[in-house]
Amino acid sequence: MHNIPSISSLTSSLSLLSARARRRRQRYVEKNGRCNVQHGNMRKTYRYLTDIFTTLVDLNWRCSLFVFVMAYAVTWLFFGAIWYLIAYCRGDLDHLEDESWTPCVNNVNGFISAFLFSIETETTIGYGHRVITDQCPVGTMLLLLQAILGSMVNAFMVGCMFVKISQPNKRAETLVFSKHAVISLRDDKLCLMFRVGDLRSSHIVGANMRAKLIKSKQTQEGEFIPLDQTDISVGFETGDDRLFLVSPLIISHEIDSRSPFWDMSQAQLEKDDFEIVVILEGMVEATGMTCQARSSYLAEEVLWGHRFSPMMLLAEGFFDIDYGAFHHTFEVDTPSASAHELALAAARLDAHLYWSISSRLDEEPALPTQLPQTQTPQSELTASTNTPNDPTITVQEPDKQESTAAAEPNGNVTTDQSESEA
């Protein structure tokens, strides 16, 4: 009989799925690198006008084109209206058929003709049909003013469009990151890895990789930090963060005692809520401008016990890169325990081996270093009695024994036995 899931288990599963779906939408940085942050309640908006150039460059293309067109149209209309006003005030419009009348601008008979003369003046087209005369000092001053302001408008707007076109943001579109990050063993050490590649043949000069962990945190004083940023080392100490990005590379973060994932196991990864933001910076080889590409990985986008598939083949005279396998991973044997637990287990194993070897060495018999006293020759022993009832045996050194034997014929040395006989 099949087990029918209870309503509570279904409810918990649905709540878990909804929580994961809700967490998936709350990205800090999107997969394409766009930061999911909106600034609101900004009162000092005049600060944007103090840096109008950067403000115009940061606008989207529709707004930029609208500002570009309106900048020229407004200046043309403004100066066209002034030229028409001059002609109207001087009475040039009332003497259109009078050949003896010298107008301020020849062949200006209305607002449309004054507007066309404004365009010809600012863009230096100069058709020659409408021309200013020397009988209008006000018109001469206005002509100089429009020529100067027109040059400034041209320089400003063309500069904005050039910077916007040459921005390296689109260069970041050809810098790709893997869809998933993986955790597996590398050189017997638990590592967090992801893949990065460059689709263009022109390279990124001085490429540098950084990574950040975005996670909520509560301090010991009770302060709650919703988006706390922690550095994830990808080889800053050893220089491995500086990349030679000619072919796709696998960026590795060793999970050690300084890593924020030191105590994270496979079970905890499935329940945890965090985001890993990866940032690739470098200089575009073609333009020399700095480029930055960003991506992120949520907790459910980190695969435990996986490894990236190889994608480089050695062809005839060159290396062939198969980008079809860029995002592919495969499962490998990986312990589900955290790096901290693996380190403790390895330390316990080393300690057990050390003490087992030491105990075996202690059990082995010690080698004899000198002959026992029972094997000493009888000639080297002399009897010495402190008391008649307590005889003692002493061992004398050979040199002393020889001197004793040599001194006995002269009567300088006597034994204890001779003294007792006397």
User: Could you give the CA distance from residue 177 to residue 229 in angstroms, rounded to a whole number?
Assistant: 21
pLDDT score of 268: 92
Domain boundary among 165, 185, 210: 165
Q: β-strand 312-314 against 275-284: which pairing, if any?
A: unpaired
**What CATH number has the domain bearing residue 111?**
1.10.287.70
pLDDT digits (tens, 9 = 90+) for 238-279: 888 999 999 999 999 999 999 999 999 999 998 889 999 999
| pLDDT score of 39 | 79
Helix axes 61-90, 137-165, angle to 10 degrees: 180
Strand ranges inside 268-420, DSSP E: 275-284, 290-298, 302-304, 306-308, 312-314, 319-321, 329-331, 381-387, 390-395
Q: Is residue 282 part of a domain?
A: yes
Quote the pLDDT of residue 4. 47
pTM of the entire predicted model: 0.67
User: Would you place residue 7 in the very low, low, confident or very high pLDDT band (cuts 50, 70, 90)?
Assistant: low
- Number of domains, the chain: 2
Is residue 146 situated within a structural domain? yes
Q: What tokens appear for 250 in the block?
A: 């696998």
Q: Which of 341, 374, 399 is the last residue of a domain?
A: 341
Q: How crowded is residue 318: how many other Cβ atoms within 10 Å of its Cβ? A: 8
For position 148, what pLDDT does the model report? 94
% of the chain surpassing 90 pLDDT? 41
**Least confident window among 1-5, 182-186, 202-206:** 1-5
Residues 148 and 248 in one domain: no
Tens digits of residue pLDDT in 11-66 = 554 554 444 544 455 788 888 888 888 877 777 667 777 788 888 888 888 999 99
11 assigned to some structural domain: no
In a domain, 53, yes or no: no
CATH number of the domain enclosing 180: 2.60.40.1400
Enumerate residues 6+ apart whose C-beta is below 8 A from 22.
none
Q: End-to-end distance of the chain based on CA atoms, in angstroms?
A: 115
List, for residues 85-117, the tens digit of each pLDDT value.
999 998 888 888 888 888 999 889 999 999 999
Residues 327 and 189 in one domain: yes
Strand pairing of 381-387 and 390-395?
antiparallel
Residues 192 and 100 occupy one common structural domain: no
Average pLDDT over residues 221-238: 90
Helix, coil or strand: residue 208: strand
Domain region containing 294: 170-341
pLDDT, tens only, 344-374: 988 888 777 766 665 665 555 554 544 444 4
d(CA 375, CA 23): 87
Query: Can you spell out the DSSP letters for 350-367?
Result: HHHHHHHHHHHHHHSPPP
Clarify whether residues 154 and 190 are in a common domain.
no
Separation CA 205–CA 248 (nearest Å): 15
pLDDT in tens, 160-194: 988 888 877 778 888 999 999 999 999 989 999 99
Assess if residue 368 is contained within a domain: no
Q: Please compute the mean of the pLDDT values over residues 282-299 and round it to a whole number.
A: 89
> Do 260 and 111 share a structural domain?
no
Better-predicted residue by pLDDT, 183 or 9 = 183
* Within a domain: 292: yes
| Residue owning tokens 């006003």 | 85
| Residue 251: exposure state from Cβ atoms within 10 A (0-12, 13-18, ≥19) | buried
